[in-house]
Amino acid sequence: MNIFTFKTEEDFVQTGANLIASLVQSKSNAILGLATGSSPIGIYTRLAEMNKKGLVSFSQVSAYNLDEYVGISGDHSQSYKTFMKENLFNHIDIDLQNTHIPNTNAADLDAECKAYDLALEQNGPVDIQILGIGSNGHIGFNEPDDHLYGGTHVIDLLEETLEANARFFDSLDEVPKQAITMGVASIMKARQILFIARGASKAEAVKAALQGPITTQCPASLLQCHPNVIVLLDEEAGSLL
Ligand code: GLP
C-alpha cells in the first residue's frame, strides 16, 4: 500500500487527477470505478480541465459508480446520478451510455443489483476504483456490521451515515434511509484502488482502515488485503498515522 499525505489541496487534486488521466491515456477504453462525496470533487474538476485542454479523452471510457440512494428519483438534486452529471459527466467527453449507476427506481431492486453485478463481471474488472471512506469506516455504502456482502445489494443506512449526509438535505428526515451499494467483493475486484480521504473527521477511520485489525466493523480495513492500493490523504485525514 502506497500512502501519500499532501500539504496542499492542489497537490492532492493534481496527483489524483494525474493517476486517472495517465491510466486513460495508456488505455483509452479503461473502466473507471467512481465515487461520490466531497473528497473526489476537486479531482473530477481537474480531470474536466484536462479534458478541455485536450490532454485526456474519456470518449471510450466506461464508468461504474459505487452506490445510489433508494427512495429519491434519479433527477433529484441529491441523487448520485445528479452528482455525477454536475461534477463530472457534463464536463467531459464521456458517452453517457457508458456511465452506470445503480438504478434505484427499478421495480425490482434485487434484480437490479444482480444485473449490476453481471454487467461488472462481463465488462470488468474495473481498472481503477476511486474510493472514499465514511467517518464510520464505510466504503461505498457498506456499513460496519457483523457481516458484509460481496455483491451489489440494498442496504439500510446507519443513523451516523444519515446524520453525516443530512448536510446535503433540508432536514435529517429527508435523507434516504436505504441505498444500493456495490459489495466489498465487487470493490476488491478492481485492479487498482485509489483510496482518498480529506479532513480531520476522517482521521480515526483512516487509521482504523490502514493500521487497525481487518474487521467487518471497519469495512475499509479490508483494503489491507488488496494488492494495489494507492492512498491519497490531506494532512488532517492522515494525522493519526
Ligand atoms: C458517502 C458515499 C461514500 C463516500 C462518503 C464520503 O457516504 N456513499 O462512498 O465515501 O460519502 O464522503 P465525503 O467524501 O464527503 O467525506
Give the pLDDT of the chain (241 residues) as one tens digit per residue: 999 999 999 999 999 999 999 999 999 999 999 999 999 999 999 999 999 999 999 999 999 999 999 999 999 999 999 999 999 999 999 999 999 999 999 999 999 999 999 999 999 999 999 999 999 999 999 999 999 999 999 999 999 999 999 999 999 999 999 999 999 999 999 999 999 999 999 999 999 999 999 999 999 999 999 999 999 999 999 999 9
Question: Does 39 map to a domain?
Answer: yes
Is 229 among the domain residues?
A: no
Residue 19 belongs to a domain: yes
Counting the structural domains of the chain, the total is 1
What is the number of the ligand 1 atom nearest to the C-alpha of 35? Answer: 9
Q: Which three cell numbers stand for residue 31?
A: 473502466
Q: Do the domain assignments include residue 223?
A: no
91 domain-assigned: yes
CB-CB neighbours of 29 under 10 Å: 11
Supply the CATH number for residue 40's domain.
3.40.50.1360
Q: Catalogue the E-assigned strands of the chain.
A: 2-6, 31-34, 62-65, 67-70, 99-100, 128-131, 153-156, 178-181, 192-197, 229-234
Instruction: Provide the whole-model pTM.
Output: 0.96
In a domain, 240, yes or no: no
90 within a domain of the structure (yes/no):
yes
- Write out the residue range of the structural domain in which residue 129 sits: 2-200
The answer to whether position 218 is within a domain reads: no
Q: Is the CB of 42 under 6 A from ligand 1?
A: no
d(CA 27, CA 241): 34
Ligand 1: atom nearest CA of 196 is 14
210 exposure class (CB count in 10 Å sphere: 0-12, 13-18, 19+)? buried
Q: Would you say the CB of residue 211 lies under 6 angstroms from ligand 1?
A: no
ipTM above 0.90, yes or no: yes
Mutate which of 36, 87, 204 for ligand 1? The one with the most ligand atoms within 8 Å of its CB, which is 36
Residues forming the active site: 67, 136, 138, 143
